[in-house]
Amino acid sequence: MKLTPPAATRFYPWRGYGCAFEVQTCSAEADKAEHTPLLLIHPIGVGLSRHFWDRFCQSWFESGQLNPLYLPDLLGCGESALPHVACAPEDWADQLQHFLRTVVQRPVIVVVQGALLPVAIALTQLKPSLNSTHLIQGLILAGPPAWKVMTQATPLWQQKLSWNLFDSPLGNAFYRYARRREFLRSFSTKQLFARAEAVDTEWLDELMAGAKDPESRHAVFSFLAGFGAKIMSRRSLN
């Protein structure tokens, strides 16, 4: 099956920031209404962006699938703006809902990787209608962490303390250390891939390029500070 050339980066505004995304399709047939698009939410970590899904996209179309793939960069990641702010799952969920309403304008199936599950949960809790049609038709969890990990709330004071620690010369030094190739290799092998051989030169080069701008650290520090735990904790009590 013939694949389209690599998709060009496109941008849309949200809260005054420029947010990047791309659309991957296999052919003109993929744009037909009967093929529900997938919205792919990438994980957050050093150097990570929508390009986390590149190999998935290739395999998806090579297997004969026709559903279009929408790949946004979350704020603070990839080619999106890299502001010096602490983001919570509600912020990224609001960004994605705005993306669905203004760019995709069709119902989607959400695919979320790993510990970004709270963002997907927050997205489903937002107002779900678009011209009386549900924005989200399904939710696929790719490698979610243990439920105990996701539902153990981090106290607000501890989140703020962690953020302040990360947002300091010590945090900057840690980020420089975390951009090292060997650290990225170890993290990818332990946290992102089932097979160590998948962590190859191409993948590591992509991570190092994504982490080159030190301003990319703020989204990572938001994630590490534990701003995501409160969504899942509140959800588990309902």
Q: Convert the pLDDT of each residue in 140-198 to its tens digit.
A: 988 766 555 555 666 665 767 777 777 888 888 999 999 999 999 999 998 888 888 98
Average pLDDT value for residue range 18-24: 97
Average pLDDT value for residue range 100-120: 91
pTM tops 0.75: yes
DSSP 40-94: EEPP-STT-SGGGGHHHHHHHHHTT----EEEEPPTTSTTS---S----HHHHHH
- Of 131-135, 197-201, 232-236, give the lowest mean pLDDT range: 232-236
118, 229 contact by CB (below 8 A): yes
Whether pLDDT at 4 is above 60: no
Looking at residue 7, what is its pLDDT?
73
Whether pLDDT at 128 is above 90: no
For the range 14-18, what are the long-range contacts, defined as Cβ-Cβ under 8 Å and sequence gap of 24 or more? 14/75, 14/94, 14/95, 14/98, 14/99, 15/95, 17/75, 17/80, 17/81, 17/83, 18/80, 18/81
Looking at residue 162, what is its pLDDT?
73
Domain spanning 10-237: CATH superfamily: Alpha/Beta hydrolase fold, catalytic domain (3.40.50.1820)
Give domain limits for the chain: 10-237
- Of 13-17, 35-39, 122-126, 142-146, give the lowest mean pLDDT range: 142-146
